[in-house]
Each structure stands twice: as structure tokens, then as C-alpha cells.
Structure 1
Amino acid sequence: MLELHCHTTFSDGRLTPTELVVEAAAAGVKALAITDHDTLGGWEEAKKAANSHWMEIVPGVELSTVCKERSLHILGYYPQRELLEHPLRERLAGRKRRAAKMVANLAELGYKLNLPELAGNMALGRPHIAYAMVEAGYVNSTQEAFARFIGEEKPAYVHYEKFSTAEGIALIKACKGVPVWAHPYLFRGGKVEEILPELVDAGLMGIEVYHPDASASQQQQLLEYCDHYNLLATGGTDYHGSDAGRAKKQYQLNYFQLPLSILDSIKKEAEKLVVSC
């Protein structure tokens, strides 16, 4: 079985790469993608852990981009590390600047926090701020932190620094990776049918069809878009850890039980990108 969207402690996941591999193996996963936000830091640890579980690690990333002034995430599969790691340094620096601004906004509202200290290749994000708010006793849950303070358009929210979705797609492809639109129906900047043609023109190669926040009818619609635009259909549970505020079964590892044939199709497209260079 296949999991193509998972996060570790290198971004906003609750498990280390080793812990994630152990949980994925227990859930029956045979191939696991590490798709942390704007960092490749978890790859090597995951690969070492996977050796003990006969599991294949799919090298990936989830880029934070901006489309129509709203956040839009692009998954990238099989990007070449030596090409992508340097460009991601600015993305990581931007994340730290953004988080610092949100912490400053919270302080002005009367909620003082110490910004979490993370290693250089770890991606700081809003979940870290939400966890800090819980620990400080300002809110009862991370969901409350987002709903009241750091969700989009809330009092302490700060937009991503400008890095367009077209730039993100181009970066993934330039690094010989396969760009896929993550959880399209979570995008708040326009209708999927309006945004998708623009992304296809920019070089998009796939859509995350199977995601916990997509209904059965939405999944069917996305499959039709894949057929129409000749795009890959991928999926994953967007796993952040069983204690990450996503207790429902559809957020748990291997919920979709996706066939490994999906990964074969992604590999073929990645190989074509390498050959074309």
C-alpha cells in the first residue's frame, strides 16, 4: 500500500522520521513519501529506518506557494536533492520571518510567546505557534489557536512571502521532480475548475485526488480533471501524527490503501524529466 503525503518533525508533523516509518509499517504501508513543508531534512533518517521494514521511501516535498493572494501547496516527488536544497534555504528563511511576525502580532494582542528554536533545515510553521499557545495556556487546543488567532484572516495571521505557484511548479520541474497540486478543495483563492487550467499551463503534472478533506464526489470530479488534462492522480492522508488534532480514521495512515501502481506512474514521469535534461 502507498502513502504519498506525510509530515515529520522536520516540519509540522508530530513524529520523527523514524517514528513515522514504524507507524507506517504497522499500518501496512509499503512505500512512504516524506513531504515536509519546504524542507528535505527528513529524507535520510526515514531511509535508514525503512531498511528495517522493507519499505520504500519516496523523496518528496510540499512547497508553500501563493496563488490569487492565497496559500496553495504543491507536492513534488523525486526532486534531485542537489538541485533543490539550495533554493529551499530562502523558503525556510521566509518561514522564520513569517512566524516571527505572527508572534509579534500575538504579543500586541497580549499573548507573549517564545518562538520555537528549530535546526537550520527544519521548517517553522503555524502549527509550532499553535502548540506554543497551548503550552502557554492561552488556548485549549491547536484548533482553537487557528480558529481565533492564526488561521487565514485571523488577527495574528501573516500571509506567505510572495512565491507564486507557477514559480513553485517551475522549481520542482527544474529539479527533475513531479509537481502535484495538494488537496485542491482546501484552496480558498478560487474554484478548482478556474485555477486548474492556469496550473496546467504552468507545468502541473498531477492532482492529489485522494485526501481526507475531499468528499467522494469531489474525488470523482478530480479524476475527471485528470483524464481531461492528462494528469497523474495521486493521494495520501496528509499524516501529521495520530495526536495532531486529526483523530478521524480518514486521517490515519493507509486509510485509502492506494495501489503501488500509482507510484510506478510517478516514477515514469520523473524518469522522463531526468532524461530530458
Structure 2
Amino acid sequence: MLELHCHTTCSDGTLTPEELVQVAIAAGVKAMAITDHDTLAGCERAIAAAGTQLEIVPGVELSTVHRGRSLHILGYYPDCSKLEPALQDRIAGRRYRAQAMADKLAELGFPITLPEMPGDTAPGRPHVAQALVEAGYVTHPQEAFTRWLGEGGPAYVAYDSFSAIDGIRLLLACGAVPVWAHPYLFRGGTVATVLPELVAAGLMGVEVYHPNHSPSDERKLEELCDRYDLLITGGSDYHGPATDKTKTGVALNGLQVPLSLLPPLKAAAAKLKMAAIA
């Protein structure tokens, strides 16, 4: 089976790339994408760990903004040498954001110590939430989101203004196939009205199969992909063993995404590479 949306400790996952590979092999996954937030740091490590036992699809999940709300774009098979310099700015922005949330919490009377992370690790709100747990202010990360870190909360800090349109164009310029992640989690407009805007910017696919999508959602997305001639992808959005409610709670390979979705994605990536050469 196929997994096209997974996270490691290089962003907000709980398993290292090497551990994730072993879990995937044990779960019967045949091909898996590493899509950490705004970093490619886990891809090469996963490829080395997988050897011939598991096919690794290099990827990233870009944090962007559209219509003033958070919107994530997955990018598959990027030219890492082109994309990595741009991602350094995104990682720097994430570090600034995490510190800004920590500063707000301190002003509210809840000082925390952020975890030490290597330079290519992309921090996020789950790291801040875990720091609140370790400081003893809450017993569960979800409580941290409910009280302080949720969008609009007293310690929430928005992403840097990096538009989804610019994100799609960046991925295309780096040879990556851009795909809209979990569209029905977007809160800035209906999927039917937002999708044409992203397609006009060069979007090539939609994540149809996701734990937060109902069967009805999936059918609607399949119809839209057919209408706009878009690739269909899917994945569990796996962050590691489900230990808190901020994760999807779906086991790796839990969605049973068919492996038949991978060849069209590969073909699209190859077409981008050929166009870049030409």
C-alpha cells in the first residue's frame, strides 16, 4: 500500500526517519513519502534506512497562507538542491514563531523552555505544546492547544506571510509536484471556490484520501480532480503512535491507499524535470 503524507522528528512527528521506515515496513507499506513541515531533512535518512525494502518518495509539506488562513501544500520529488535554500527561510520563520509563542506564554505567566533542535529541524506548535506539558502547566498537549495555542488563542502566532500561490510556484520551480493537503481542513473558503484559484497558480493534485475526509468528501474531491485533470493522492498524515488528540489517530497504512496512485505522480514529476531541462 501507499503512504504519501508522513512526518518525522525532523518536524512534528514522534518517530525518527529510521524508526518510521521500520514501522512502515512492518505495516506492509510499499512506498512512503516523507513530508515534514518546511524541511527535507528526513528524506535522505529515510532513503538510507529503507534500502531495497521500502520505496521512499522525497517530499515536503509547505506551510502557506491563502485568504488569510493556513493552507498546506505538499510537494513531491523536488530538486533538493534548489528547494533547500528556500526552505532555510521557512525554518528560520518557524523558529521565530515558536519563540514568539514562548514569549507570549511567559507574559501570560507560563514560561517554558523550548526543546533543543538541530538546524534543519522545523519546530511547530506541537513542540510548544509538549514544552507546556513538561513544565507541568497541562497534562495533555491538546489542552495546550485549547487554552493557548489554537488559532486565535492568547499565545497563538500566525505563520509568516507566505502565500499558497507563491508556495505552488516555488515547488514547480524546484521540479516538485504541488498537491493541496487535506482540503477540507481549510477554513478560508469552500473547496469548490478555492481550488480554481490554486489550479490557476499551477496546482497539480489534491490529497483526496485523508483521515479527516469523510467518504462524501472523498467523492466530491474525486469529481473535482476529474474536472480539473488533477492527480489524486492520499495518506494517513502520520505523526507517530497516536498518543494525543492533536494527531489523526490513524495507524500507518490505515487508509489502505492504493499503490496505483504512485505511477501518475512519478510521471508528473518526470514531466516537470524534462520541462526544466528543455
- Which TM-score applies when normalising by structure 2? 0.97
Task: Give the structure 2 partner of residue 85 of structure 1.
Answer: 84
Structure 2 counterpart of 1:198, which letter? Answer: E
> Quick one: distance in 2 between partners of 1:44 and 1:5?
16
The answer to whether 1:2 aligns with 2:2 is yes
Q: Residue 104 of structure 1 aligns to a residue in which SS?
A: helix
Match of 1:12 in 2: 12
Change (3 A) 1:14 1:205: same
Contact 1:14 1:243 (C-alpha < 8 Å) held by counterparts: no
Distance change in 2, residues 1:250/1:135 (3 Å): closer
Corresponding position of 2:24: 24
Cα separation, partners in 2 of 1:192 and 1:127, compared to 1, 3 Å: same
- Equivalence for 1:45: 45
User: More displaced, 255-264 or 243-252?
Assistant: 243-252
User: 1:125 matched to which residue of 2?
Assistant: 124
Are 1:37 and 1:62, in contact at CA under 8 Å, matched by a contact in 2? yes
Q: Which consecutive unaligned segments of at least 5 residues does structure 2 have?
A: none
- The 8 Å contact of residues 14 and 244 in structure 1, kept in 2 or not, is answered as no
Alpha-carbon distance in 1 for matches of 2:210, 2:97: 27
1:195 deviation in Å?
Answer: 0.8
Contact 1:12-1:128 at 8 Å conserved across structures: yes
2:195 partner amino acid: L
Aligned to 2:209: 210
After superposition, residues 126-275 of structure 1 pair within 5 angstroms as 126-245=125-244, 251-275=250-274
Cα distance in 1, alignment partners of residues 30 and 90 from structure 2: 31
What displacement does 1:24 show?
Answer: 0.7
Show CA shifts across 1:61-117 (max 9, x none): 000001111110000000010110000000000001111111111111110011222
Equivalent-residue separation in structure 1 for 2:244 and 2:18 (angstroms): 21
Is 1:112–2:91 an aligned residue pair? no
How far apart in 1 are the matches of 2:126 and 2:243? Answer: 9
Match of 2:34 in 1: 34
Shift of 1:259: 1.8
RMSD: 1.4
After superposition, the Cα gap between the structure-2 partners of 1:249 and 1:179, relative to the gap in structure 1 and judged at 3 Å, is: closer
CA displacement at 1:148 relative to structure 2: 1.1
Matches of 1:160 and 1:140, distance apart in 2: 26
Deviation at 1:140, TM superposition (A): 1.3
Cα separation, 2, equivalents of 1:139 and 1:246: 14
Cα pair 2:100 2:157 within 8 Å, conserved: yes
Alpha carbons of 1:249 and 1:60: their partners in 2 closer, same or farther (altered >3 Å)? closer
The residue identity in structure 1 corresponding to 2:186 is F
CA distance in structure 2 between the aligned counterparts of 1:142 and 1:77, rounded to whole angstroms: 30
Identity, in percent, stands at 61
**SS at the partner of 1:276?**
helix
Deviation at 1:246, TM superposition (A): 5.1
The 4+ residue runs of structure 1 with deviation greater than 3 A are: 246-250
Give the Å deviation of 1:247. Answer: 9.8
What is the rounded CA distance, in whole Å, between the counterparts of 1:46 and 1:34 in structure 2?
8
> Do the aligned partners of residues 57 and 114 (structure 1) sit closer, same or farther apart at CA in structure 2, a change above 3 Å counting?
same
Q: How far has the Cα of 1:248 moved from its partner?
A: 9.1
Superposed displacement of residue 183, structure 1: 0.5
Give the whole-Å Cα distance in 1 for the aligned partners of 2:54 and 2:40.
18
- Give the secondary-structure state (helix, strand or coil) at the position aligned to 1:60: strand
Partners of 1:264 and 1:82 lie apart in 2 by 24
Assess if the C-alpha contact under 8 Å between 2:212 and 2:248 holds in 1. no
* Alpha-carbon distance, 1:243 to partner: 3.5
Are the aligned partners of 1:63 and 1:73 in contact in 2 as well (CA < 8 Å)?
yes
State the Cα distance separating 1:36 from its structure 2 match.
0.2
